[in-house]
Structures are given as structure tokens and as C-alpha cells.
Amino acid sequence: MSKVNRTIGVLVAAAALTFGFVSPALATPQNIPTATVAKSELAGLTVRADGSMTGYSRDKFPHWITKEGTCNTREFVLKRDGTNVVTDSSCAAKSGRWFSPYDGATWTAASDVDIDHIVPLAAAWRSGASSWTTTRRQEFANDTDYPQLIAVTDNVNQSKGDQTPATWKPPVTSYWCTYAKMWVHVKAKYRLSVNSAEKTELTSMLGRC
């Protein structure tokens, strides 16, 4: 991406952080629950200390799989979350526009966009996925029916890593409610646990809704 476009994206992000807005045209993941549902789901999650990372590998969560036609899961989400996305015969995005709700930046090159797992693979491993079958982990890593995947700015996603809301939240505070609703809904679907610090922060974030 050109330095000019990167600068524009950063300036838009700075404005979003200053004024706390997100784009009204944003394409969102499927099945984001209401705050009421999310609060009820959070209350039903098992609270326990995180499990061990022993044996963990991203390879144990096969992704990106073929999702639709020639598109793999990453390409599917890029098309879903982008605007005016043009792809080639192999479904690679050649052009388009992507708004990242985490930081308010807008990008015009797919290379500047990561597909974030709302609940990171390693966080899932620590909260129950270590006992899953490979098939179940593959479903989790490629789930586009629930709000588990979203297109966001690459370096913001990388700063998140495998952290839970106890230690990382989207820079745009007005998105915390939505982020918490997505996180809780995914954990509830897959019957993953939360640790006490994570639940405390999620409770606070849902309180903003």
C-alpha cells in the first residue's frame, strides 16, 4: 500500500478514536446478539482459571478452508465485510474498501487487512478447545454463521494477539459493547469458559450497551 493511503487510513483512525464513531455502512458478522441476550449468556458461562497451553498449535485449528466456490474463509470475509470488492478468478481481492471498526481506519488494499478471530484460537484452547476434535476446531476457526470472524486493520489485530478483553480491547471505545456481545456469543455457542478477570471486563463492556 502507498504511504499516502496508509497515512489517510491512520488519519481516519485518529478521528474515530477522537470522536468515538464507527462507520454506519460497516458490514458486520452474522448473528450479533442483543445486549440482553449477551448478558444472559455471560451469566451462564463457566468461570474457571485458564487451562494450559501445552500441546497448542494453530495447525490444530485448520484454516482457511474452502468456503464458497473458489473462496476460502479469509476471502469470503473480505468480500462480506468490504465495499465494492473486486476479485479475480481464484477469489483473491484485487480492489475494494475495508473499514476496520476496531480503530476506525479505512483501507483500499486487502494486504492491510487481517481476518480476526474474535475469540482467538489460543484463547479458545485455554478455555476448552484443547479437548475438542480437529473437526470441531476447524468449525470454530472458520465460523461465519456466528460473529467469530471480522476484517480489521492488520497491525491492530496483531497487537491483540491471543488476549482476552481482560487485557485488550478495541481502540475505539464505542465498539466495546459490540465486541463484548460477539465475544460472549461465540463462547456461549462453543461452551468455552471465561476466567474471572475476563468476566469482569465483559460485564463492564456490556454495561456500555
Residue 12 pLDDT: 40
Query: What's the distance, CA 128 to chain centroid?
Result: 19
Helices and strands in the chain, H and E counts: 8, 7
Which residues is 152 bridged to in the sheet?
Answer: 114
Rounded Cα distance between 7 and 96, Å, is 17
Beta carbons of 82 and 123 less than 8 angstroms apart: no
Beta carbons of 169 and 205 less than 8 angstroms apart: yes
Residue 2 pLDDT: 41
Beta carbons of 174 and 21 less than 8 angstroms apart: yes
Element (H, E) at 86: strand 82-87
In this prediction the pTM is 0.87
Q: Where are the domains of the chain?
A: 3-25+32-206
Tens-binned pLDDT, residue by residue, of the chain (209 aa): 443 444 434 444 444 343 333 443 344 788 999 999 999 999 999 999 999 999 999 999 999 999 989 999 999 999 999 999 999 999 999 999 999 999 999 999 999 999 999 999 999 999 999 999 999 999 999 999 999 999 999 999 999 999 999 999 999 999 999 999 999 999 999 999 999 999 999 999 999 99
Rounded Cα distance between 151 and 127, Å, is 24
Beta carbons of 74 and 64 less than 8 angstroms apart: yes
Which residues is 116 bridged to in the sheet?
Answer: 150
Residue that is written with C-alpha cell 468455552 in the block: 192
Residue 133 pLDDT: 98
